[in-house]
Amino acid sequence: MKSKRSRFRSCIGCLGIVVLLLSLIGLIVGMKLDRDFSIRSNFVFLEFRNSREPLAVKLASGKWAVVTKMNSEAMAGALEKNVKRRGDGFRWSTLSVRRKSNIWRESLLNGMVGSEVHVVEFDPEHFEFSPWFEQEGAEFVPSDSLSVLKATGPETRFVVGANYYGPDGQPLGWLVRDGKEIRKQWKSWSGFFFVKGGVPRFGPRSLLESTQGELTQATQGYPSVMKDGILFDYVTKNEDEFFNGSELNFRSLAGVTEDGRIIFVLSGTGGMMDMAEVTRIAKFAGVHDATLLDGGRALQYGLRGPGGKEGFHSFNNTVDWDGLPQRFAPERPPVFLLVRRKK
């Protein structure tokens, strides 16, 4: 017959196993929720969305610098120091970013989550750019970035949500593929991706109209934020002139450098920015002309490179659970920008 001490030790051992199993189950559930709903990222969003503190970037030296007080040399050093993936004609760098914490919850998240902004660069000599979508009759079929990567084959290196879209899941604004106009232009929207004469560009309507060559590909976004390296007044002086540009949110910017390289600046885990912050990061990264792509809850992108596929989505884009509240319903863009390696 077991002594009381032996029975006590057995109970403690069983309790330890139960705690371990519950911890393991909690970890698995947490990882799945984070994968499906970007839980860590959205904790940062909820805690910092009303913050008045400026965005700071971790430099190559390990010091932190506020975006507005950086320069191109400091940004180049930070990007080169933090190259995540590199290949022929492309580079993916990940910047560590943060806002000053004023309460304990913010300090905890700054220490645990590690917020990021990604800067992805492509050389058009090696890559071609075009919109991607699928239709069933006249209706566009919403999708997600990793599904698009899979569907478009191994030559596709990068996909990102392009056009804004309405509650019905259908795209808004101009859409041209392989020279065929699919959707008409919206005259009030100022941002464009286009390919003329085989050269991909991003920027305002004036750049579209002044660029020569046959138009083969185009999408429309809102707004354009930069031309000839100059930030538009509503970026620096009145972010809310046309929409809530001062709002901290998940952002997606696409631009072109003076020598023609294409650069995407993208929110990663916890990497919310306002319009001025994402635009300044782009400028210091070398962008000359730029426009915003769809962001917020709809932001998603995927990369195929050395080491496999990788992606980010700011909210749910895959889970269709019965009884899921509408606010947790999937966000699936109908149109993506596709970057494919040239054959």
Inter-residue contact 118 to 268 (CB < 8 Å): yes
Across the range 290-294, mean pLDDT stands at: 96
Q: What pLDDT score was predicted for residue 343?
A: 83
SS (H, E, C) 286-307: CEEEEEECCCHHHCEEEEEECC
Q: Percentage of the chain with pLDDT > 90?
A: 71
Q: How would you list the strands of the sheet with 180-183, edge to edge?
A: 180-183, 175-177, 215-221, 191-196, 199-204
Higher local confidence (pLDDT), 45 or 24: 45
What per-residue confidence (pLDDT) applies to 311? 87
Q: Which residues contact 314 (CB under 8 A, 6 or more apart)?
A: 38, 41, 42, 45, 250, 267, 295, 296, 297, 298, 299, 300
Q: Which residues contact 274 (CB under 8 A, 6 or more apart)?
A: 239, 245, 246, 247, 248, 249, 251
Which amino acid is located at 84 in the chain?
K
DSSP letter string over 263-292? EEEEE-TT--B-HHHHHHHHHHTTEEEEEE
Q: What is the pLDDT of residues 52-74, one digit of tens each?
A: 999 999 999 999 999 989 999 99
Alpha carbon dihedral 288, 294, 298, 303, in 10-degree steps, equals -40
- Among 280, 320, 283, 313, smallest CA distance to 298 is for 313
pLDDT for res 10: 62
Range from 7-21, 73-87, 192-206 carrying the lowest mean pLDDT: 7-21
Q: Are strands 287-292 and 224-227 parallel, antiparallel or unpaired?
A: antiparallel
pLDDT of residue 309: 83
Among the ranges given (108-117, 189-198, 199-208, 234-243), the one the predictor scored with the smallest mean pLDDT? 234-243
Question: Mean per-residue pLDDT for 221-233?
Answer: 94
**What is the per-residue pLDDT for 310?**
84
pLDDT at 37 over 80: no
> Which residues make Cβ contacts (< 8 Å) with residue 166, sequence separation at least 6?
172
- Note the pTM of the prediction, 2 decimals: 0.91
The answer to whether the CB of 36 falls within 8 A of the CB of 316 is yes
pLDDT of residue 2: 54
- Distance (Å, whole) CA 23 – CA 306: 33
Tell me the pLDDT tens digit for each residue of 14-32: 666 666 665 566 555 556 6
Q: What is the pLDDT of residues 141-163, one digit of tens each?
A: 999 999 999 999 999 999 999 99
The closest alpha carbon to 217, from 133, 329, 114, 279, belongs to: 133
Give the per-residue pLDDT at 306: 76
Q: Confidence band (pLDDT; 50, 70, 90) for 84?
A: very high
Residue spans per domain, the chain: 1-37, 40-341
